[in-house]
A and B are shown apart, each in its own frame.
Chain A
Amino acid sequence: AQSVTQLGSHVSVSEGALVLLRCNYSSSVPPYLFWYVQYPNQGLQLLLKYTTGATLVKGINGFEAEFKKSETSFHLTKPSAHMSDAAEYFCAVSDGDSSYKLIFGSGTRLLVRP
């Protein structure tokens, strides 16, 4: 069965600093990978997704993630953090074309210091 591990329940960065949120997955078939963001008191919103093709995926709000099959990783990055990026971020995996289930990681809360 597929699974997702997010390293670090909390990450704190200064405004303007690099954001790096880590995600490793386990899947028996080529996965579809996602990053979702949850702002306070809201539901989750899709940031970006990897399906097939280019391994560097660009999303909304300046975020991007790189699929590395050899490392089974899909880390999320942003070159320069903004105060509005403070939120909880979830990595998720779907087991291929025929899967209806999306399995989420435990989440990483990003804190941005002024």
Chain B
Amino acid sequence: NAGVTQTPKFQVLKTGQSMTLQCAQDMNHNSMYWYRQDPGMGLRLIYYSASEGTTDKGEVPNGYNVSRLNKREFSLRLESAAPSQTSVYFCASKRGQGNEKLFFGSGTQLSVL
């Protein structure tokens, strides 16, 4: 019963470095999401993938890219990290659209120095 698995759990980067956050779900969900959580701002949607082969921008996509590798995996890439990207990142998934429950991973705490 793994659910949504995110790696790594913690990461420290220097400004300008790149990295990829990995996310995988084993629930055969169609939709996958990347959120960032910042104090006082709640969760903000970075990108989402409604189904395999599609990706769309959320509220705060600048500085990020995503890849829906297959139905299970949805990665988030920071090409040139900036201190403003210091945050906790959550991956989530759900079966489809509308009123369905989101399942969350346990998060990645990223610090950019």
Contact = CB atoms under 8 A, between A and B. Distances in A.
A90 B45 CA distance: 14
A28 interface: no
Contacts, number: 63
Interface residues of B, number: 26
Contacts of A97: 97-99
A36 B31 CA distance: 18
Interface stretch (B14-22, B36-44, B79-87): B36-44
A18 interface: no
Contacts of B98: 32, 94, 96-99
A85 to B, nearest CB: 19
Contact of A51 (B35, B41, B45, B99): B99
A44 B45 contact: no
B90 A44 contact: yes
A102 B102 contact: yes
B66 interface: no
Contacts of B33: 102
Given A106-B41, A107-B42, 15 more contacts: A43-B4, A44-B90, A49-B99, A94-B99, A98-B97, A99-B98, A100-B56, A100-B97, A101-B58, A102-B33, A102-B45, A104-B43, A104-B44, A105-B42, A107-B40
Interface of B: 4, 31, 33, 35, 40-45, 48, 50, 56, 58-59, 90, 92, 97-99, 101-102, 104-107
Interface of A: 6, 9, 32, 36, 41-46, 49, 51, 90, 94, 96-107
